[in-house]
Amino acid sequence: MRTENTGRPAGAELEDRVAQFAARAISVCEALPERTGAAHLRDQLFRSATSVAANYAEASVPESRKDFAHKIGVALKELVESRMWLRIIALKQYVEPRTLAKLLAEADELVRIFNASVKTARQRLADEKA
């Protein structure tokens, strides 16, 4: 399925956004100081943020509706986790909180989008069973 206004595959814009989110999170990881606490946050944020993109990419080629719902659900969980690591990094002021503001806002917006997708996917699964 293609969108009418861009000719790009449906979901390509969201795929770009989650890839950009992961790339920006990696930049935050690279800016963290060399301390024990920051190292733990770096590892956790790196894993969760890149997992969002990977799971969304897998969801774009699902084996079934159930598989799609599962992968989108995992992506949502990883996104919520990433948002928490970013909040902790901001609270610890390992990175200037203003620097993280746009990334946190993007995380919030992506959480809303993914929540809606999960809700819709689960509703469609329930409707299939009915």
Q: Give the domain ranges of the chain.
A: 12-129
Report the run of H or E that residue 37 belongs to, with start and end.
helix 36-59
What averages of pLDDT result for each successive group of 10 residues across the chain (130 residues)?
51 92 97 93 98 95 91 97 97 89 96 95 84
CATH of domain 12-129: 1.20.1440.60
The helix/strand/coil state of 33 is coil
Residue tagged 């084996």 (tokens): 63
Residue type, 45: L
